[in-house]
Homo-oligomer: A and B are copies of this chain.
Amino acid sequence: MNNYETQDNVEKTTAQSPYLYSRKSDNQQTTISLGSKVLGSEKVLFLAGPCSVESKQQMIDIAYELKEMGVTALRGGAYKPRTSPYSFQGHGEKALEWLAEVREKTGLAIVTEIMDPHLVPLFEQYVDVLQIGSRNMQNFVLLKSVGKSKLPVLLKRGMSSTIQEFLLASEYVLSQGNPNVILCERGIRTFENATRNTFDINAIPVLREKTHLPILADPSHGTGNSKYVLAVSRGAVAAGADGLLIEVHASPEEALSDGDQSITPQEFRKLVEEIGSIAHAVNRTI
């Protein structure tokens, strides 16, 4: 007995031909260009920014600040999946325009979440990476849709998805012809309530063994608490993550969403420095 609806079919398929996500050799590694750097290389990359795009000026200010610290890609939500329909839902297309303008000014790559499969053409005008959020990890219509795009896809693990389900979700994208999928571990739902989620560090070596796709870590969602982001970031890179996705906000206590887990630019500067040491210890650079 198991949790997979499709266990039988999955295994039959495996026997016939390996999955597109499967690592065929030790050296096989997908690399994806982000801004001026390459994810999946010996360099550990930083993707950072606020949870939500709140205003154009906010994004410009934080983007310059983050770029100077070595960040490669700016994250920020234009369309926000919120548990309640009455919570702030994001500034939508207007926010996409702002993000494109920030890219123009700073050269940072833009990563933002897409929820509607029919908005892929719109997003393609403005952004560099299509993010699929945890709640949509098994939204197969959306996965097939971004699988037909030329843009890389940042796929976040579902909050209660097994690693096998996570990999099979990436297969939905890959099988449509898009080879550029970034896997992002962002914490799973457990009984523990001292943290918002439990960052699954085990997933990093498990994914490394099973797939050639690059692996990001999101300690902001993985802990849900700015106090713990630094320690878990160090742990994730030490365990082998190719990059970090971090929520940074100039004034976390005023953020429209996720303020508890956002760190300040000052804290982020310290994080970059410490990650530099860890990267060095595992024979990488930042």
Contacts and interface: CB of A to CB of B under 8 A. Distances in A.
Interface of A: 1-6, 9-10, 13, 81-88, 115-118, 135-136, 138-142, 144, 159-160, 162-165, 168, 171-172, 175, 188-206, 208-209, 222-225, 227-228, 230-232, 234-240, 257-258, 260, 274, 277-278, 280-282
A277 to B, nearest CB: 4
Contacts of A165: 83
A206 to B, nearest CB: 5
A55 to B, nearest CB: 19
A250 to B, nearest CB: 19
Contacts of A5: 82-83, 87, 257-258
13 contacts: A1-B194, A1-B224, A5-B87, A9-B82, A10-B84, A116-B117, A135-B139, A139-B142, A159-B160, A162-B191, A195-B202, A209-B227, A274-B281
A85 B172 contact: yes
A83 B201 CA distance: 23
Given A84-B13, A138-B135, A189-B3, A206 B196 contact: no
Contacts of A3: 189, 191, 193, 196-197
Contacts of A274: 281-282
Nearest to A81: B140
Given A1-B194, A162-B192, A231 B225 contact: no
Contact of A10 (B10, B83, B135, B163): B83
A232 to B, nearest CB: 6
Contact of A115 (B141, B168, B222): B141
A238 B235 contact: yes
Contacts of A164: 194
A200 B82 CA distance: 24
